[in-house]
Every structure is written in C-alpha cells, then in structure tokens.
Amino acid sequence: MSEMNSNNEKSDKLFEMQREQGPILEVKDLKVDFTTGNNHAVHAVRDASFNVYPGQWVAIVGESGSGKSTSAMAVLGLLPGTGHVVGGSIKLEGEEISHYTRKQYEQILGDKMGLVPQDPMSNLNPVWRIGTQVEEALKANHMDISHEKRSKLAQALAGGGVAVKSEDDETFIGSKELPELLKAAQAALNEAGVTGDGAKNKMDYFTKEWVPGSETRWRVADDLIKAGVSDDKAWQIAKQYVTGSTMTDRIAGLLEEAGLPDAATRARQYPHEFSGGMLQRALIAIGLACRPDLLIADEPTSALDVTVQKKILDHLHTLTDELGTAVLFITHDLGLAAERAQHIVVMYKGQVVESGPSLDVLQHPQHPYTKRLVAAAPSLASQRIISAKEHGENADALMEHHAKGEETLEKSEHIITVSHLTKEFKLPRKKEMFKAVDDVSFSVKRGTTLAIVGESGSGKSTVANMVLKLLKPTSGTVTYEGKDISEFEGKSLLDFRRHVQPVFQNPYGSLDPMYSIYRSIEEPLRIHKIGDKKSREQRVRELLDLVKMPQSVMQRYPNELSGGQRQRIAVARAMALNPDVIVCDEAVSALDVLVQDQVLQLLNDLQAERGLSYLFITHDLAVVRQIADEVVVMQKGKLVEHATTDEVFEHPQKQYTKDLLDAIPGGHLQLGLD
Amino acid sequence: MSDNTIQQAKASSRILPGQERYVAPAGKVELQDVDSVDESMPATNMWADAWRTLRRNPLFIVSAILIVCIIFVALFPGVFTHRDPNFCQLDHSLEKSSPGHPFGYDTQGCDVFTRTVYGTRTSLSVGILTAILVVIFGSVIGALGGFFGGWVDALLSRFTDIFMAIPMLLGAIVVLQMFRTSGSIWKIVLVLTLFGWTQTSRIARSAVMETKNLEFNTAATALGSTPGRNLLRHIMPNSFASIIVIGTTSLGSYIVSEATLSFLGIGLPTTTVSWGGDISNAQTILRTDPSVLFYPSAALAITVLAFIMMGDAVKDALDPKSRTA
C-alpha cells in the first residue's frame, strides 16, 4: 500500500514537473511536401500538431503512408530525398528548429534527440564491430565517458533518495577497479557485522548490479548503505574505488543497460553475429548513448517476435523512466500504443484525425477512421470472425448453420494428416544436423482452420513447405485424403497441386512482376490445361469478383497494387483451381491492420461458402483467434501445445504458450468499448 | 468498474496543456474504402515504364536519331552515292575534295565518301550480328549454369573461365590467320562471338540465380509448374533486362574490335569495304593527308558513341534498382 502511495506521489510530482517545464517537443501545423520529378508536390503531412512532455511516452499510430514516419523524420531533420518542411513549426525545448541547417541539426542530434530506427538489419554498418558503432555515437557528441549525464527531469525526480549530487557522484565504475571495490565491499560488510548467507546475498547483488560504465558512485554508496555499511565508510569506499570508466567500459555499460548480456564480449562482435532482437538492443544503446532528452523510435520492434518485443520495450521503459527520457514512438499497432503510451496521436492521409489520452482514445474512438482501426485491431478481446454471409442470415439459420458445422466437425475425416514429421538441415561448417522440425504430428479437419503459431525459427514454415510438397521430409509422413503425398508424382502430383494451394507471406515476391494480373491468375488454369482462352478469361473475372477486386485490374501489373491488393490477387490465384486446402504461410503478416482484417474476412467468407480447409501459419496469436478453430504451438521445431483455439486462449497449458499470450501488445486492454 | 471510473476521472484531470482530446472535424479528412484500387492511374508495367523513362532521356533521343540514320545508310548506301566503292582511279590519287566527292580521294584514287558510306554496312552488321549471337549463346550457357547449379554450374563456369582467360584480340588473331582470304563478315562475327560471350554468360548466370530464389517461382511450383517451365516462363523474362543492357552496351565495342582486326590486316581483306581497313590504309599517309584517315575514323567514332549512349540510356531505364517495387 505504501509503495502504491509513493508511486502516486511520484507520478503527481512528475505531472507537476511536466506542467512546469512545458513540452519538450511542440509540433504545430506541420506541413511536409515531397517534390516529384515534374515539380509536382505530394503533401505527405498536413497540419499535424502534437506535443511531447519530458518523461512521457507518446505514440503516433497510423497505416503505412499515413505520414507518421515522415512527421518523425521532419522533427529529426532527416527527411529523405526531396522531402521538406513547407509550413508550421517544430519547437524543441521552446526553440524553433524547423529552419535549422544540417550543421545545426548535427549539434542537437544524439545530444538532445536520439533515434531508434525501424530496421535493425540495415541500420548498422556490417563491417564495423558493434562496440565501434556505439563509440562513434559517443565520440561524435563529445560525450564524457566517465560521468553520467542526467536530464533535469531525472535529477529532480531522483531528488528524494540522495540530496544534491555533485558532479563527482555521477562517476562510473571502471572495470579495473571493480575487483578491488568488491573486495572492499566484502570487508566493509564483515566489519558492519553482516555475515553468512546475508552477506553472500548482498555480494551477489553487488556483483550483478555494479556494472562498469553504467553504475555510478552514489549508487554504489547507496547500495552499501542499504546493505548496512555506515554512511562514512560507504562513501569512503565509493570515493576510493569508483574513479571513472574507460571507453570500453562505457560501451559495455551502455550495451548492458540496453539488455545485452555479456556486453563486453558482445561489443567486439559484428552485426551478422547478432540476432534481430540483439541488433535492436544495440541500436537502443546507440540511441540512448548520449542521454538525449527525447528519443524517437520508428517502429522499433515491428520486425521482432512478440516475446522479444515485450522484453525490449519493457527494458526501454525502465531505462527511459530512470533517465527521464521522453519517447516519441511510431507504430502501426494500436494495442502496443495503448499499452505503452500516455498520449496517442492517430494519423491518416497525412493528417491528425484524433489525439488524446491513449486509453480514452482507444476505448471511446470518435473519428470514423479511429473507430475503424479499433474495430479491426486484432486483440485478445476479439472473437473468431463470423462470416458476413452468416451475419446476413437470420438468427435461427445462423444457429442451425453452427450446429451443422459442429456436427460435421466431429464426424468429418481429416483432410491433411501430418505424423511424426521431422526435417533436418545441414548447417555450414557444422557436423551435426540441425533439426528444424522435430517429430510433429497434427491433422486438419475438413472445412476448418488449423493455425500453426510460433516465433521465427520455430520451424512452422518448414512444416508448411513439407505439407505443400515443396520440401522433402527427413522422416515422417504427410497424407492428403489418406494418401501419402511423398508417393505423388507426375499426374497424381499435378492432381495434388490442384487441390492444395498456397498463399505466401510476401505479397511483393509471390507474384511475377512481368506478368499482368490477368496472366498471374490465369497461370494455374494454363498449367492444368483447363478451358480455352475464352472460358479462362471468364473464370479470371469471376475470381476477381470473388476477392472483391475490380475487373479493370486485369491489365495491370503487380507493382501498381498495394500489398493487400496483391495478397487478394494471390488468394484469387490460389482459388482458381477450386482447391480443398489452402496453406497460408504468414499470409497477412506484412499487411496493415485494416487490410489484414479485410483479407482475413475474405478468407473466412471463402471458407464459409466453399468449405475450404486452411492450414494457417502465423507468428501472431491475435490473428489466430480471429481465424482458427484449432491451434498448434511450435517452439524450436517441436510441437508444444495442440488444442482448440478457445482452449489455448483460455487455459494455456504450457509456459511458452502463456508467454506468447502475455506478450500480445495490449492483450489485456478492452478496446472500443462503445 | 468503480476502480476504472476513478482512474478515468483522475486521468482526465491529469491532462497536460496541448494534449487535450482532439477529434478532426467531420469532412476534413475524407475516409476512403480500405485498400481501394486507384482505377484512374494509367496502367504500367516494367517495359512501359522503361519506355516512358527512355522517351524523356535526351541521351536516348540523340542516340536513337543517330542510330536510325546509321541504319538507313547501311541499308541504302546507293541513296547517298552512285559510285562503286571499289571503283578507283589512280589518277585521282590523294585529290582534295571536289563537287560530288566531298571527302576527296585516297592513295589508290578511291572516293573516300563512297567508301565511308559503304563501310557502314560492314561495321553495323558485324556489331549487330555479334551482339545477337553473344546474347543467345551467353545467356543460354549462363542461365543453365545459374538455374541448375551444382556440377552443371561448376562445369559451365569452368568452361566460361577458359574462354575468359584468352584475350579476345589474341584469340581472334590466331583463329583468323586460318581464314585469311575469306571476305565474309561471318568469320569476324563468329570469332568475336567465340571470345565475347563470356561476359554475357556471367551476367545471365547471376541474374538467373537471383531471380531463381524469388518467391514467385516457389508459388509457380506449388501451382503445378515444372522447373523447366519456371525457367522459360518466369526466370528468363525477369533476367532479360540485364542481358539486354549488356548486349546494347557491348555492341559498340564489337564494332571497334572489327575495325581493330581489319586495321591489323587479319580481319576483312581489302576487297571488302570496311572502316578498319580504310583506317589502316590511310595510316601511312597520316602526316601528309590526314583527311583520308579522318572520315572513316569519325564515322566509326560516331557509330560506336551512338550505340554506347543507347546502352547507357537503356541501362538507366531498365536498372532493377531504379525500378519501382
């Protein structure tokens, strides 16, 4: 209870401070244009206004092309290509910066504003060590590497514990002095009469917490005092042994703060030796290296698995809270925005359509666009989509349909059965084989959807490729309609292909750019020699209607369509042969929420109309709930859990499943209450 | 529930200035259908796009006009001169230009203008035929290696390396020695192809290898397509842009090579009119009568420049990196 009170007190104080200091970033009526080849201006941002206060998290939400990233880049003075600010004002700590030159921007970038970019893979130089890249950020801003720099806000907020800290109190621990410091701490503990397990616990705590290049003198003293060492003695030890860090210490300290374990070793590695999550952590370390007052994070975790995303954001949260850094973060994920930010700004077509306290905006959306976004957001609260066709029918018919559906579900045979499926790959430079898929068994019931969920590297796509007979399993079998698919060849293989169709993840890659939409959809008909020219054209028109695309797109090429439109074309192509089974490999993962919702609706309608069975591969548990009847959870090639969707969501059996559910951003929030 | 209300009440009292609830007035932003197709946009594809880019490129316009003129001259030399290029009268030897003979005469008393006009056909045929053969031969070898990989690729790559290791000119000299007397341009075309296909093959191989891994091939396989069909219907058309670029760019260099070989006296015999041969003949009198050397050289330079410029323009238009995704 007392903790809660002190928390409240702290947030009250923070609120007062924020009101007193005023916004750190004030964007008013911002206008950004891009000029195209023939001097035609494209209005990327129109009259956007928003404020960010010190220590606050503000989210800009919107679909791709809404101008959210452009606004952030305008603030940073990093507009790409022909983009430029044509109106409005951007004030950083009360100073107008929109007219700044490149040189003036260099002065404030890093030091006052930091950036965590979107794509960790392309934002680190592959030929430099991670440590060198952190060092570059420190050197470019002439950072003092032996002393911590605290924001005004952090100083004011930390005021409660230690009175006024002098400059020297913020000196970092050096790795050279650390062993002696620990020895002295041990001695001091003994002297203070702390012995046995108590002393051991305290020492373990010290060893863990006292990170060179990150922990400061006053904290060491503070820890010692809390452990029972007398004030004088504690400060004496702290002053004697905490005498500042070297560059190497500081780099390791920064990386450690960003959540990289064993940072000193990691700093000497190259980007290709890091996973996506680790690279993102390194970028966070770089973004925060110079202790900016404002950190701009552009979709910082969109490329990462949900559990990694949660860990990184949690970490960033504690870190920025401690440093008093304000965070402006850009995301397309409403749940994430609601969970992390106090203030939320919704952008659409370059304009701010709604803004306000995040929970308020999401629970009572007022603008039609926000309403639409909230309605489409796949959160835990959402249920399996009921087909629009079913919606239209009256309640009785709906009930009947359901009853019938359930009956067939019980009785029907399994259209695809996977048993003891294993796939091993040979890794380069390694002797042992890597098991991408390890003894996985499940079956897809006719007319239902089975989702395989897992993070990257779980082997879910490998399973999909084996089911599609694009990969040969090392052992185990896949049967379609009771027949082993490994025996299909020639005519029977063609027949199998006719009945089992894929929709792939990347809408930009799965359509041949040289083929017109007509030719793309017609291709399966040609391959299987179905119909003549005229009847094929008729079929293509039907299919376009089916996926709700205008027939005029027939003569267009994939590069003219958006990702969602291409994915609908891919669905049309898959439907051309009237298949029984469609394997969707991350089919909606690359799409914006609204578009994703639209494609899911389409898939669902098709299932209701034609009794299709889906094998749905995804990393996104929220989507699973909207589309799947059964769920298979995979981790590192193994099947972890297999149950009905409701069962998995309401009573997850395994810890891994619970972690996955827990990591869904905004999962516990009720969105769109009215 | 009551907890919730309290929190909300508290939250609303805690709004910082400038962060009050804002909703854009209705009508300010027009809401569009989710992901609707913009049907007003003109239909485009890669080739149409490339053509549009090309049409606006001055480099392309200039080179295209030049090339059209050059081709016209090559096809109908009789329009420009009524004389026979091999009709020479020694009494006109090294005469200066006169009406009807704008470029004057060479040592043998042949009309330089007529010879330059007729030389166009030889140079152009050699260039174009070699480019076509090189593209066909090079891309077949390269595509097979790139598509099948493994030992097929290893074998074909080593085969390519062998030819790459022989300098084109040296190889051409050795081979052409055997057909010294033949006046057919085909011997030059075949020799240039024999030693020139390697570069195209390498480019075709890497283009095929890159396209092979794109997802639409997997998609086609899953639709029931066979590997051979994938190669012909999907991979080759997608790799064609880079092959076209290298073909156009090297066309100019084949014309130069023909001239070089003729200059060295191992190309075409003097009975076949060619710029290289004329340049070679004029070399001996360079100091006294430079104009005799000038005209065939200038014609050669303009032709080669036109094709290289065209190659550059095509490359700009078809460069996969500048293509919009």
| Orientation angle between helical segments B186-212 and B150-165, nearest 10 degrees | 140
Closest Cα in chain B to A592: B35
Residue A528 contacts B, CB cutoff 8 Å: yes
pLDDT score for A667: 67
A569 class by beta-carbon count within 10 Å (0-12 exposed, 13-18 middle, 19+ buried): buried
8 A C-beta contact, residue A471 and residue A670: no
A390 — pLDDT class (breaks 50, 70, 90): very low
Please report the DSSP string for A534-552 in residue order: HHHHHHHHHHHHHTT--GG
Please indicate, yes or no, if residue B187 is contained in any of the structural domains. Answer: yes
Residue B273, domain CATH: 1.10.3720.10
Q: Do A509 and B214 touch (CB under 8 A)?
A: yes
CB A48 within 8 A of CB A75: no
For residue B310, the number of C-alpha atoms closer than 13 Å in the C-beta half-sphere is 20
Which chain A residue lies closest to B20 (C-alpha atoms)?
A356
Under 8 Å between Cβ of A423 and A436: yes
| Residue B109 zone, left/alpha/beta (φ > 0; ψ -120 to 50; rest) | left
Cα A269 to Cα A138: distance, rounded to the nearest angstrom: 18
Q: Alpha-carbon distance A29 to A51, whole Å?
A: 11
A12, burial (CB in 10 Å: exposed 0-12, middle 13-18, buried 19+): exposed
* Residue A306, token pair as written in the block: 């949900």
- Measured CA to CA, the distance from residue A52 to residue A134 in angstroms comes to 27
pLDDT, tens digit, 9 for 90 and up, residues A113-143: 999 988 777 888 889 999 999 998 888 888 8
Q: Do B14 and A15 lie within an 8 Å CB cutoff?
A: yes
The amino acid at B87: F
Chain A window 324-363: which residues touch B at a Cβ cutoff of 8 Å? 343, 348-349, 351-357, 359-361
Taking the Cβ of residue A509 and every Cβ of chain B, the question of whether any pair is shorter than 8 Å is answered with yes
Residue A114 bridge partners (DSSP): A295
Task: Tell me, yes or no, if A598 comes closer than 8 A to chain B by beta carbon.
Answer: yes
Q: Which has more pLDDT, B239 or A158?
A: B239
For A418-429, write each residue's pLDDT tens digit: 999 999 888 777
- 3-state SS string over chain B? CHHHHHHHHHHHHCCCCCCCCEECCCCCCCCCCCCCCCCCCCCCCHHHHHHHHHHHCHHHHHHHHHHHHHHHHHHCHHHCCCCCCCCECHHHCCCCCECCECCCECCCCEEHHHHHHHHHHHHHHHHHHHHHHHHHHHHHHHHHHHHHCHHHHHHHHHHHHHHHHCCHHHHHHHHHHHHCCCCCCHHHHHHHHHHHHHHHHHHHHHHHHHHHCCHHHHHHHHCCCCHHHHHHHHHHHHHHHHHHHHHHHHHHHHHHHHHHHHHCCCCCCCCCCCHHHHHHHHHCCCCCCHHHHHHHHHHHHHHHHHHHHHHHHHHHHHCCCCCCC
Contact A470 B218 (CB under 8 A): yes
Nearest to A452 by CA among A425, A482, A416: A416
Residues 6+ apart with CB under 8 A from B262: B268, B274, B275, B276, B277, B279, B280
Query: From CA A111, how far away is CA A115, in angstroms rounded?
Result: 11
More confident residue, B247 or A404: B247
Q: By CA distance, what is A18's nearest residue in B?
A: B16
pLDDT of A668: 66
How many Cα atoms occupy the beta-carbon half-sphere of A318 within 13 Å? 8
Output the pLDDT for position A401.
42
Residue A148, SS3 per DSSP: coil
**CA pair distance B49, B47, nearest whole angstrom:** 5
ipTM above 0.85, yes or no: no
C-alpha to C-alpha distance for A88 and A84, rounded to whole angstroms: 12
User: Is B4 a domain residue?
Assistant: no
pLDDT score, position A402: 44
Q: Are A355 and A595 in contact (CB under 8 A)?
A: no
Which residue shows structure tokens 């960003």? Answer: A258
Q: Does residue B239 form part of some domain?
A: yes
- Chain A CB contacts of B35 below 8 Å: 562, 564-565, 594-595, 598
User: Does residue A158 surpass a pLDDT of 80?
Assistant: no
User: Mutate which of A512, A529, A592 to test chain B, going by most B C-beta atoms within 10 A?
Assistant: A512
Chain A contact set for B24 (CB, 8 A): 351-354, 367
Largest CA distance in chain A: 96
In-domain check, residue B18 = no
Cα(B192)–Cα(B277) distance, integer angstroms:
17
Report yes or no: B1 at the A interface, CB cutoff 8 Å. Answer: no
Is the separation of the CB atoms in A280 and A117 below 8 Å? no
Q: How many CB pairs under 8 A join A and B?
A: 153
Query: What is the pLDDT at residue B67?
Result: 94
Phi-psi region of A510 (alpha: psi -120 to 50; beta: other; left: phi over 0): alpha
A113-122, A405-414, A468-477, B27-36 — which is least confidently predicted?
A: A405-414
- Rounded mean pLDDT of A459-482? 90
Q: What is the pLDDT of residue A449?
A: 92
Candidates A367, A372, A553; nearest CB to B37: A553
Per-residue pLDDT at A133: 92
Which residues 3-42 on chain B approach chain A with CB closer than 8 angstroms?
8, 11-12, 14-24, 26, 28-31, 34-35, 37, 39, 41
- pLDDT tens for each residue of chain B, 325 residues long: 444 444 444 444 578 888 888 888 877 777 777 777 766 666 666 677 778 878 888 889 999 999 999 999 999 988 888 778 877 777 777 777 777 777 878 777 788 888 889 889 888 999 999 999 999 999 999 999 999 988 999 999 999 999 999 888 888 888 888 887 777 888 889 999 999 899 999 999 999 998 888 888 988 988 888 889 999 999 998 888 888 888 888 888 888 888 888 888 888 877 788 888 888 888 888 788 888 888 889 999 999 999 988 888 887 787 645 444 3
Identify the closest residue of chain A to B5 by CA–CA distance: A360
Smallest Cβ distance to A509: which of B12, B41, B215? B215
B160 is a domain residue: yes
Taking the C-alpha atoms of A149, A154, A156 and A159 in order, what is their torsion angle to the nearest 10 degrees? -90
Contacts of B237 (CB under 8 A, 6+ apart): A512, A514
**Contact yes or no for B243/B204 (Cβ under 8 A):** yes
Q: Which of A11, A472, A480, A514 to mutate to test the interface with B (most CBs of B within 10 A)?
A: A514
Identify any residues that bridge with A482 across adjacent strands, giving them in sequence order.
none
Do the domain assignments include residue B271?
yes
For residue range A566-592, list pLDDT tens digits in order: 888 998 999 898 899 999 988 887 788
With cut-offs at 50, 70 and 90, classify the pLDDT of residue A409: very low
Check B18 against A51: CB less than 8 A apart.
Answer: yes
Q: What is the pLDDT of residue A355?
A: 92
What per-residue confidence (pLDDT) applies to B2?
43
Structural domain that includes position B58? 46-322
Separation between Cα atoms, residue A373 and residue B23, nearest integer Å? 15
| DSSP-derived 3-state class of residue A445 | strand
User: DSSP 3-state assignment of A556?
Assistant: coil
Interchain proximity A561–B14, CB inside 8 Å: no
Q: Which residues of B touch A594 (CB under 8 A)?
A: 34-35
The total number of structural domains in chain B stands at 1
Structure tokens at B79: 């329009």
Vertex A534: Cα angle to A530 and A540 (nearest 5): 70
d(CA B318, CA A522): 27
pLDDT band of residue A302 (cuts 50, 70, 90) is confident
Which is more confident, B95 or A220?
Answer: A220
Q: How high is the pLDDT of residue A391?
A: 43
Closest by CA to A346, choosing from A312, A320, A372, is A372
The answer to whether the CB atoms of B223 and A527 lie below 8 A apart is: yes
Q: Which of A532-546, A551-565, B76-90 shows the highest mean pLDDT?
A: A532-546
Contact A527 B45 (CB under 8 A): no
How much is the pLDDT for B69? 94
pLDDT of A380 reads: 47
Pick from A665, A577, A585: which is nearest to A300 by CA?
A665
Of residues B34, B238, B325, nearest to A514 (C-beta): B238
Nearest-Cα residue of chain A relative to residue B43? A556
Q: Which of the two residues, B88 and A390, has the higher pLDDT score?
A: B88
Interface of A with B in 364-403 (CB under 8 A): 366-369, 372
Query: Closest Cα of chain A to B56: distance in Å?
Result: 12
- Three-state DSSP class for residue A612: coil
C-beta separation of B131 from B197 below 8 A: no
User: Touching check for B322 and chain A: CB below 8 Å?
Assistant: no
Residue A524, min C-alpha distance to chain B (Å): 6
Asked if residue B23 is part of any domain, the answer here is no
In a domain, B287, yes or no: yes
Residue B107 has which token pair?
């040592």
Which residues touch A309 (CB under 8 Å, ≥6 apart)?
Answer: A301, A336, A663, A665
Q: Chain A window 21-80: which residues touch B at a Cβ cutoff of 8 Å?
A: 23, 26, 51, 53, 56
CA distances from A186 to A132, A183, A213, A579 (A): 35, 5, 21, 72
pTM above 0.90, yes or no: no
Considering A36-45, A139-148, A451-460, B298-307, the range whose residues carry the highest mean pLDDT is B298-307
**Residue A323, SS3?**
helix
* CA B191 – CA A89 distance, rounded (Å): 68
In the stretch 240-269 of chain B, residues with CB closer than 8 A to chain A read: none
Tally of CB atoms within 10 A around A336: 23
Q: Taking CB atoms and an 8 Å cutoff, what residues of chain A touch B230?
A: none
Percentage of chain A lying above the pLDDT 70 cut: 89
